[in-house]
Structure 1
Amino acid sequence: MLNIKSFLLASGLICALLAGTCFQLPAQNKGNHSPLTFKQGERIVFLGSSLFENELEKGYLEFAITSRWPDLDLTFRNLGWTGDDVFAEARSTFTTPPTPYQQLFQQIRSTHPDYVLIAYGGVESQKGEAGLGEFVKGLGAILDSVDALGAQSILLSTIPVKLAGNRENTITQNKNLRLYADAIAALASKRKKRYVDIYTPIDENTNALFLDNGIHLNEAGYRYLAQVLEQAFGWPSRGLTVTINAGESTANAPAKIVSSGPDKLVFSLEEPVLPFPATASGKPDAKAAVSVQVNGLKKGHYTLTENGRKLITASEADWAKGVVLDQETSQQQAAEVCGYIVKKNTLFFQQYRPRNRTYILGFRSYEQGNNKRDLDDMDPLIAQLEAQIKLHRKPVIKTYELNLQKGQ
């Protein structure tokens, strides 16, 4: 494998693997990057190791992007591969060719990307400072290849570990992970690529963001990571506080008063973007959800309903502080979209990484190669799920009713 690495890096064979010839590299922007935006029909690819493969079960990163652009038909493909490094060693098969490197670039090319989010370094960092030079060269080769396709690369740093065996080993691992994160940042600056430091915010977060193994992110970790990426991309917070004045029957935008009376106050609301789904505990992050603040209530408890469904009952003091809506329609809608994303990504995973690849696509395809049509048959199923994502990713107008008859 080392000979393959040296040959690919020295000869520029990567360009040939991707497209036969090297394309003219696009002009690079100078200075700080403006907020990230997308255009109709663009395709976004997640490329890296376990950070992205494990996200297949969550869907939050894709949700963060697709729900921000509900009117654009964006396509997402997750090429994360647990244990992978910048030389694609985890992608090796019994079939040679393709080599692991060739397979990596064939997979990238097959997605026709416009943007590639790249997250490597976690596996390579185990070699410490001694492996840093080789890692930078390998990552640079991937950037060359993505550039050759005319796509834009977005580099993500490594993430820290919470526990790696024992305290001493954890300290050493995090020192190396930070070292590699700095190297990624330096390469991004040199190549004028967008870079996102996800190491620092995850390291500074005191919530439980890791699985029991202390290495991989849990559901809350991926929710938080999605919010970190949104902030890094220059997008405003999803958090929205609706302020209602019960005495004057007024509301701030985007809420609108529908009707008011002595017994109830009715208002409508259409959020600009869906909130993140609720966590397993049912309590969404206030920074990523809708909160309702009601002023002018007398002492007592008041009930809010949504489209006729009882939503929450709280005291006048809690309403004045603001109550986070944790089970409203938008939360359910967001969870539904994430569910479609996970199902779609699972099908794509099975399509591009069939368990019996050697028998279907490899040197033993003479035995079961006719089953390749089963992989092709997944395309319309994936398209159907993408249609469902498109159908449900935009918030709907909801009607809320606040009962002004105070309860005990």
Structure 2
Amino acid sequence: MRKRKVVAILGYSLFMLLYRPHGLAFAQNKLQSVTESLNSPFELKNGDRVVFLGNSLFENDFQYGYIELALTTRWPDRDVTYRNIGWTGDNVFGVARSTITNPPTAYELLMEHLTKAQPTVVLVAYGGIEAQDGEAGLPAFKEGLTKLIDKIDQLGAKAVLLSPIPILSADSAESVAKRNAMLELYAATIAKIASERGKRYVDIFKPIQEVSKKIALTENGIHLNEAGYYNLASILEKGLGLGPRTEPVAIMISKNAAETTNPAKILDPGANATDLKFTIKERYLPLPLPSGESGLPGLGQVVKIPGLKKGFYTLTIDNSEVITASAKQWEKGIEIRQGPSFEQVHELQQMVLKKNDLFFFQYRPPNTTYILGMRSHEQGRHAKGLEEQSLIIKWLEGQIALIRAPKSRVYQLTLLK
């Protein structure tokens, strides 16, 4: 009787809330607020902790750090930290995490890892492993993903749901098509759940599939390589509603002067065009190109300088020689793919990788069973050492904060004689 009475009271209260004019308006405003939030560009705020949760899609980026690098350079003035708790072979029930003993169960470890990461934003990338179970596995996947979203909500964090990536090669074209059809079915399920729960959804399946027609993005048809993560980072930025990292710079040369518009500024407008100095106000650092991928489309600054006299011109940035090209090439536009900003972001990338390495071995050390598991009575004393790594991680995050913003640099274009 008590349960029925409570349910009746709650039902009546909800009825009154929705049908009283101000209650209906409140519900409509809340729905409108959620919709507007999802339609607006993604944003990270001061104090946010972003957690990457999923399978090998996130874990394998420990090698490159492109996803974190893309996000941390987008808000260089904000105190945002990142934790990658992706686990190869994992699903929404944390099946791959059963490395210690039982209890805790694999699912309990998944919940523990998520809770300890203290997220305010969680990027969730599951479905790739579960799709191997076919249509028969969809009900369990829906249940697991729903419970996971519930947990993220309970932690007071925002969930961003990602689709799986496609299979790019297999034993046969028929196998590729069959497996991708199932992955798309799971992606559609994730999109539907995201819509029903008012969560942001990013489709990375189709963009990866499209880019893969031009560039090799995987090591084995399944796991992304360095070029794959480079492209995934920019695909994710676009999927989150973030604009281009740079805007082309055009400097028009005339007989008397040089003129330009933002984000460039001529330092000496009346100077001879054969020795041109200017600055470019960079909003973000560029993403470093993958090693050995000189032909890969880049995200560097494009500079167009029409009106130059015939000849070859060398561009230096902060007195460091960057590129030499003909007047005709400068007129068409040159993409800057090296120089001080790329050196700065490469240093930043190495710090991100070092920080992530320390965190990886802190939350899942190789001898977990002896330090944290059923044999911790033998080496459990080392758990304190793992905790102390947090000091180094925090120090590295401080160093990352110091160099993630672009610097003002002086560009100089000089005619070769």
> Conserved in 1, the CA contact under 8 Å of 2:267 and 2:279?
yes
Amino acid at match of 1:331: F
Matches within 5 A, 1:52-131: 52-131=58-137
Q: Where does residue 180 of structure 2 map in the other structure?
A: 174
**What is the CA distance between 1:164 and its match in structure 2?**
2.4
Deviates more, 1:257-266 or 1:341-350: 257-266
The C-alpha deviation readout for 1:113-157, integer Å capped at 9, x for no partner, is 100000001011011111111111111110011111111100000
Q: Where does residue 30 of structure 1 map in the other structure?
A: 35
**What is the CA distance between 1:380 and its match in structure 2?**
1.4
Task: Output the CA distance in 2 between the equivalents of 1:349 and 1:164.
Answer: 31
State yes or no: 1:144 paired with 2:150: yes
**What is the CA distance between 1:257 and its match in structure 2?**
1.1
Task: Output the CA distance in 2 between the equivalents of 1:402 and 1:140.
Answer: 57
Query: SS in structure 1 opposite 2:207?
Result: helix
Task: Output the CA distance in 1 between the equivalents of 2:298 and 2:350.
Answer: 22
> Conserved in 2, the CA contact under 8 Å of 1:284 and 1:326?
no
State yes or no: 1:186 paired with 2:192: yes
Q: 1:40 aligns with which of 36, 46, 49?
A: 46
Amino acid at match of 1:258: L
Query: SS in structure 1 opposite 2:192?
Result: helix
Q: Where does residue 230 of structure 1 map in the other structure?
A: 237
State yes or no: 1:318 paired with 2:329: yes
Task: Output the CA distance in 2 between the equivalents of 1:148 and 1:262.
Answer: 61
**What is the CA distance between 1:48 and its match in structure 2?**
0.2
Query: SS in structure 1 opposite 2:411?
Result: strand
Task: Output the CA distance in 1 between the equivalents of 2:55 and 2:390.
Answer: 24
Q: Where does residue 261 of structure 2 map in the other structure?
A: 252
The C-alpha deviation readout for 1:354-396, integer Å capped at 9, x for no partner, is 1111110111111001111220121111112111211111000
Query: SS in structure 1 opposite 2:267?
Result: strand
Structure 2 residue runs of 5 or longer lacking an equivalent are: 1-29
- Structure having the higher Rg: 2
**What is the CA distance between 1:93 and its match in structure 2?**
2.4
Q: Where does residue 219 of structure 1 map in the other structure?
A: 226
Task: Output the CA distance in 2 between the equivalents of 1:240 and 1:336.
Answer: 24
The C-alpha deviation readout for 1:331-355, integer Å capped at 9, x for no partner, is 1212221111111111100000011
Q: Where does residue 402 of structure 2 map in the other structure?
A: 391
**TM-score of the aligned structures, taking structure 1 as reference length:** 0.90
Query: SS in structure 1 opposite 2:316?
Result: strand
Distance 1:60 1:34, change over 3 A: same
Q: 1:197 aligns with which of 199, 203, 212?
A: 203
Distance 1:181 1:282, change over 3 A: closer
State yes or no: 1:337 paired with 2:344: no
Amino acid at match of 1:237: P
Query: SS in structure 2 opposite 1:108?
Result: helix
Structure 1 residue runs of 5 or longer lacking an equivalent are: 1-26
Task: Output the CA distance in 2 between the equivalents of 1:245 and 1:284.
Answer: 28
Task: Output the CA distance in 2 between the equivalents of 1:75 and 1:285.
Answer: 29
Give the aligned length.
Answer: 380
Q: 1:133 aligns with which of 139, 142, 145?
A: 139
> Conserved in 2, the CA contact under 8 Å of 1:278 and 1:284?
no
Task: Output the CA distance in 2 between the equivalents of 1:137 and 1:284.
Answer: 44
> Conserved in 2, the CA contact under 8 Å of 1:239 and 1:286?
no
Identity %: 46
Q: Where does residue 159 of structure 1 map in the other structure?
A: 165
Task: Output the CA distance in 2 between the equivalents of 1:37 and 1:305.
Answer: 34
Query: SS in structure 1 opposite 2:62?
Result: helix
Task: Output the CA distance in 1 between the equivalents of 2:304 and 2:283.
Answer: 18
**What is the CA distance between 1:263 and its match in structure 2?**
4.1
> Conserved in 1, the CA contact under 8 Å of 2:273 and 2:308?
no
Task: Output the CA distance in 1 between the equivalents of 2:368 and 2:350.
Answer: 27
> Conserved in 1, the CA contact under 8 Å of 2:100 and 2:368?
no
Task: Output the CA distance in 1 between the equivalents of 2:53 and 2:216.
Answer: 22
Distance 1:209 1:52, change over 3 A: farther
